[in-house]
Amino acid sequence: MAWACLVPLPTGTGLLYASSDNGGTWRQLPFPSPQSGDDKLGLQLIDATHGVLQVLGSLYTTADGGRHWRTASLPQGQRFAAGAHFLSPSQGWYQDLTAFPNQAEQPTAMWWTSDGGISWSERWRVDPQHPRSGALPLDGSKYVLSFRDPSTGWLEVTQGAASTLMMTSDGGRTWSPVKLPVREAAGFTDLELLSDGSAVLVAKTGSGYMALPSRDGGLKWEEGRPIPIVTTPNRGQNRPSFIDHDHWATAEGSLLQTTSDAGQTWRTVRASLPPGVVALVDLWLTSSGDGWAIGEDGSENLRVLRTTDRGADWSLSPVPYL
């Protein structure tokens, strides 16, 4: 299994590394383009050899673990590579993430690719000329949360303080609202599709954060269970780690909260951190007990950490720059 680490520097230069021995050693990979200090960088690993690199308005893909990169196109007229997400080396979607502050109308659109970003086909659009696309309105923000396969996906529509979860069964051409067992207004921060076929939807309500599990991969959702989160999570930072339907974990400082019954009960674990590391920022755990985290020192510098005992003990992973 190959792992990679993307390190943005204050100079605006990014360093890209990969490991094929679970983080024991790292090799530097070629960066496919020059950068500026304003570039937004993102990395998606699809499998051990395939990945996608987002550099502001440029999209790059690799089929050999990052040794070589090719340029992939964005849909015509689009400028933000962060809108691209891939299910496989060939299948993926792109959403226009342009925001329009201080107005109710939020135009956007979604495209699909079946050839790794060589070409894109539009699946839906809402704008002043197309004020509705089926059940999707022009008013309110729209965000594609995830796709399970080329047919089945989920999207949230947020109007005011409340969000509606929408689901598609035809690759995003049409969407229908999902009935959720939530008794108060909620916004959705994440939808995780897990290796055991289950799914977890993370929601924020007036009383805090909760997770709604699903045993059938998002077709039917169970009652939400509170998650012990203090720091606000977002897409990519400070998110809980969901291993399977029953096993979840969150991190705050050096404390891990873990559950083995889908959030009905929680256990506190005081993690042993390397010298100088004071907090766990991001957390990824696996069913085998291995895991990764981003650790922070007292000066807000970040370190890559790894564990082999479900998060009880952490060691530094020797990424060269760090």
pLDDT in tens, the chain (322 residues): 556 666 655 555 678 888 888 888 888 888 887 665 556 778 899 998 999 999 888 999 999 999 999 999 999 999 999 999 999 999 999 999 999 999 999 999 999 999 999 999 999 999 999 999 999 999 999 999 999 999 999 999 999 888 999 999 999 999 999 999 998 899 998 999 999 999 999 999 988 999 999 999 999 999 999 999 766 665 455 678 999 999 999 998 899 999 999 999 999 999 999 999 999 988 999 999 999 998 888 887 888 999 999 999 999 998 876 5
- Which residue is listed with tokens 């839906």? 124
Contacts of residue 57, defined as CB under 8 A and 6 or more positions apart, other chains included, come to 74, 79, 80, 81
pLDDT at 36: 56
Rounded distance between C-alpha atoms, residue 319 and residue 300, angstroms: 17
pLDDT at 319: 83
pLDDT at 20: 84
Rounded distance between C-alpha atoms, residue 70 and residue 50, angstroms: 12
pLDDT at 302: 83
pLDDT at 131: 95
pLDDT at 144: 97
Q: Are 206 and 248 in contact (CB under 8 A)?
A: no
pLDDT at 22: 81
pLDDT at 239: 78
pLDDT at 16: 86
Q: How many other CB atoms sit within 10 Å of the CB of residue 22?
A: 14
Q: Tell how far CA 199 is from the center of its chain.
A: 14
pLDDT at 13: 67
pLDDT at 6: 64
pTM summary value: 0.91
pLDDT at 233: 60
pLDDT at 231: 66
Q: What are 61's two structure tokens? A: 């893909």
pLDDT at 249: 96
